[in-house]
Homo-oligomer: A and B are copies of this chain.
């Protein structure tokens, strides 16, 4: 496997017909401009005065100046190099010199707009064929805006290719080691259970029971050990939605290491939505939320802060790990790579991405 095959080469590296997460909803205020490069394309997103989003190429059709360096005028955006003004549909509606001379702005004075949607607390953009931009393709995750969950949210920028981050998110094997001092609670031996990995529509599903999972400080029950259940879908292009529940010891066996039954009430449960957005070939933005059920902790914000701090510690462990891996890979030693069981998720997901890229080509 060429671990970051596209890096520095001209091969098509990205799926285009998919929704990429561009921001958390609250990262884009009313009447402010938000700029992000996604799969090497500069993208401008802003809210119109009615609060609706619009997304377009962040590149004036005249001299390629970022429109985000300009200013909003009502629902329009004006490039502050030569004053071209674009409406929210990307059409140039004013060229100062043409205005003066009474000329019409030609039809080809426009920047491409992109389908944009707000869902699950995320802003999603579609950079591929707009006719295919079906909002039903947005992964059905749960976001921090869900009142049943007490979630925090953030993002981290990686100096790494998105494929390496996807790999990391589509395997559970690294938790016992990379996250030994955070998620694994110092107990690596609790995490050797192999998860079930299966292909689903536009992604993979990973489920696992870890028996003998040590009690966390924030848990209600005073039992020493629990059976931890994790299940998540990881969906193209890189959206993770994971449920975790700590069940009374014996829970795993009670449901035959399958899906917990509806009678089984977790001692504590958490949900996380995460997403990887390739910015350039060597940089990516990683969005994440994390939190317990509202019913559990709405009166214990301190506990939630503690869980959030733990999650952030783990996210930084991932970032440091993957950025280090990227640097080592860039030495291009040509050494072979062996495969282990933990690679089922990454391999399955990469094959899916490869297939989609090939089909789009």
Contact = CB atoms under 8 A, between A and B. Distances in A.
A205 B215 CA distance: 69
Nearest to A103: B341
Interface stretch (A90-98, A224-232, A248-256): A90-98
Main SS of chain A's interface residues?
Answer: loop
A321 B64 contact: no
Interface stretch (A55-63, A136-144, A234-242, A352-360): A55-63
A96 B59 contact: no
Contacts of A218: none
Interface stretch (A115-123, A290-298, A305-313, A324-332): A324-332
Contact of A340 (B3, B95, B328): B95
A51 to B, nearest CB: 27
Contacts of A40: 331, 333
A259 interface: no
Interface stretch (A16-24, A173-181, A260-268): A173-181
Number of chain A interface residues as a range:
35 or more
A34 interface: no
Contacts of A100: 192-194
B324 A69 contact: yes
A96 B176 contact: yes
Interface stretch (A73-81, A153-161, A269-277): A73-81
B328 A62 contact: no
Given A101-B194, A108-B336, 13 more contacts: A37-B331, A42-B333, A59-B333, A61-B337, A62-B337, A62-B340, A63-B337, A80-B178, A82-B342, A83-B176, A96-B188, A97-B341, A111-B335
